[in-house]
Amino acid sequence: MSPVLIDTSVWIDFFRRGDAPESDMLVELIRRKLARITGLVAAELLSGAGSAKEFATLQDYLSALDRLDDPPDLWPRVAAARYRLARKGFQASVADTIVAVVAHHHRASLLTRDAHFVLMARTLPLKLVRVASH
C-alpha cells in the first residue's frame, strides 16, 4: 500500500471522538507507518489547540509522522488545479487544493471525511481511500 496523507478532517474526528471509521483506519496506517502529514495540515491542527500544553503535546505527536513536503512548483500547480475545477463549476478552497496537489505529487492516497475531495477527485488526479461505515 502506498503512503496515505491524512486530511485535517480525519485528525479532528480522531482527537475529538475517535469513533469514526476513518479513526480506525488512521490507527492502522500509523501502526503500519503509512500515515503522512503536510505542513498545512499540521498548521491547521496546531492552530486549533486549546492551550499551550495541548499545542506542545500535539506538536510532539505530529512530529513523529513522516511529512510530505510541498513540491517546488506548488503555487502554479494549485492555480492550474483550481482553474480546472472552476471550469467544471467547482470552487475549491486553496487549502483543499494544496492538500490534493501535495498528495498527488508524492503519489500518496488521501484519507478524508471532507466531501469536497470526492468532487475534486472527479477532475483532479487524486486517489481517495474509501472506508466502510460501521
Q: How does pLDDT run along the chain (134 residues), one tens digit per residue?
A: 789 999 999 999 999 887 888 999 999 999 999 999 999 999 999 999 999 999 999 999 999 999 999 999 999 999 999 999 999 999 999 999 999 999 999 999 999 999 999 999 999 999 999 886 64
pLDDT of 126: 96
pTM of the model: 0.93
Domain ranges of the chain: 4-121
Cβ atoms within 10 A of the Cβ of 27, count? 13
Which residue from 119, 108, 111, 98 is spatially nearest to 13, judged by alpha carbons? Answer: 111
Task: Please tell me the predicted confidence (pLDDT) of residue 17.
Answer: 83
The CATH architecture of the domain made up of 4-121 is 3-Layer(aba) Sandwich (3.40)
Q: What is the DSSP string of 8-55?
A: HHHHHHHHHT--SHHHHHHHHHHHTT-EEEEHHHHHHHHHT-SSHHHH
Task: Give residue 8's identity as a one-letter amino acid code.
Answer: T
